[in-house]
Amino acid sequence: MAEWRPKVAGLERVLGTGALFSTAYGNVGSSIYYALGLVAVFALGMTPVVFLIAGVIFICTAATYTEATTMYPEAGGSSSFARRAFNEFWSFFAAWGQMLNYIITVAISAYFLPHYLGIVWEPLMSSPADIVVAVGVVVLLAIVNVVGVKEAAGLNVFLAVADFVTQVALVVLGLVLVFSPEILVENVDFGTSPTVADFLIAIPVGMVAFTGIDTISNMAEEARDYGKTIPQSMRAVVVAVMTISLTLPMVALSAMPVRDGTTVLAQPESEGGYADNPILGVVENLDLGPLQGAAEVYVGLLAATILLVATNAGLIGLSRLSYSMGQYRQLPSALRKLHPRFRTPYMAIIVFGAIACLTILPGEATFLGTIYAFGAMLSFTMAHASVIALRIKEPDRERPYKGRGNVRIRGAEIPLYALFGGFGTGAAFVAVSLLNLETLIAGVIWLTLGMT
């Protein structure tokens, strides 16, 4: 079968495995810098369990995205998958949820960035300095993205590796210095702290730590040799993220245990907690002796840098998704217009960057986390459903990547990772929608605006 090519030329195929991995890890790996605190607000001592459940769902979702992206390597992610599997209505439905996801990625990454820089200048940990810096970061990166993504790829690789090595070092130090299975067991009073409802909400919020996986899909139209580079970069992201996400929460809850139904990991900075900079809280509670001060400054600066990369990755995702939606007339064509010199969708970068700035202004991190989960779970569920439908609709189509674990149902070979992943993300979408009224209202308003 002939190789699939996008209908409209424009974006150049210049990104290899390293660039795809680093940009995605900048988005996914950076999420632990805020997701740990957001999850602890709801899950308390059950936080490690939440990350384990969310991680299993993440592995299934990564396999689904890899299969579909290598079949249709164009900007758009779940929107592109749904277009082939169903129709333009469901494609737009997925894209609009994904658009919300990227807007909040930009906003939440930029919002938490100054809280880590606060280790250098304390006023950045509180309003209005944190809001001003966050908005400034988005504006600066929007300008950088108009010039183009290629120039930053090498730096992204370095930062992603430095970030991963640092997180591994924190895990190793934590396991040696503070890790305690007894404390982790004592932290749990399931049904009381957390309540069952809060635990269920925490699972989709925990998925926030893994949502950047679709960044690779939205950059697929710029990937070289996508049949190889996309699976390779996906595998690297999964291994790196799971290594940290299954261990760091246990270290954090050992260092900052639950007492009297709460933990400083879940408390805001105004109450002496670390909800706004949870990884810095881990470092401050490791008792590193003469290295303590230097370690805090290093982690604070690195966290701020990697959150900068994550904000940039979110803007990249917004611009590429807008380009895809505009190509199929799901958005005004002006929004996908490429810059005559830099060949980047500069109008989309400007417009959606401005919307991200507006969502930063209230400074409500918990709400950003739950609405982030709303958009992500909707988009991921559509991706799983699309892969299942494509296995039925186009069983003989070439699939450069086809994961293990399939079951034959009525003559069709259905991937178990899509079945299990779709159930997980669908249930998480229902949970975050029905158990959090503010999220439900905001989500419905967003979807209504899009459909209108």
Q: What does the buried/exposed string (b/e) look like for 394-422 if buried means 16 or more CB atoms within 10 Å of the residue's CB? A: eeeeebbbebeebeeeeeeebbebbbbbb
Q: What pLDDT was estimated at residue 149?
A: 54
* C-alpha dist (Å) from residue 250 to 14, 82, 275, 279, 452: 39, 37, 16, 12, 45
d(CA 114, CA 133): 7
Q: What pLDDT was estimated at residue 12?
A: 61
In tens digits, what is the pLDDT along the chain, a chain of 452 residues? 344 444 444 556 667 777 788 777 767 878 899 999 999 999 999 999 999 999 999 999 999 999 999 998 876 778 889 999 998 889 888 888 888 888 998 999 999 999 999 999 999 988 899 999 999 999 999 988 887 655 455 666 777 788 889 999 999 999 999 999 999 999 999 999 899 999 999 999 998 888 777 778 767 777 778 888 889 989 988 998 899 999 999 999 999 999 989 999 999 888 889 999 999 999 999 989 899 999 999 999 999 988 987 888 788 778 777 777 777 778 777 777 777 887 778 888 888 899 899 999 888 888 888 898 898 899 999 999 999 999 999 988 889 998 888 898 888 899 999 999 999 999 999 998 988 888 899 889 988 888 87
Q: What pLDDT was estimated at residue 386?
A: 96
| Pick from 137, 161, 180: nearest CA to 302 | 161
* Sign of the CA dihedral with 265 first, then 268, 269, and 272 last: negative
Give residue 137's region: left, alpha or beta (phi > 0; psi -120 to 50): alpha
Q: What pLDDT was estimated at residue 4?
A: 42
Q: What is the pTM of this model?
A: 0.87
d(CA 116, CA 278): 9
Tokens 């305690």 belong to residue: 180
Q: What pLDDT was estimated at residue 148?
A: 67
Q: What does the buried/exposed string (b/e) look like for 136-148 if buried means 16 or more CB atoms within 10 Å of the residue's CB? A: ebbeebbeebbeb
Query: What are 78's two structure tokens?
Result: 């779940």
Q: What pLDDT was estimated at residue 25?
A: 79
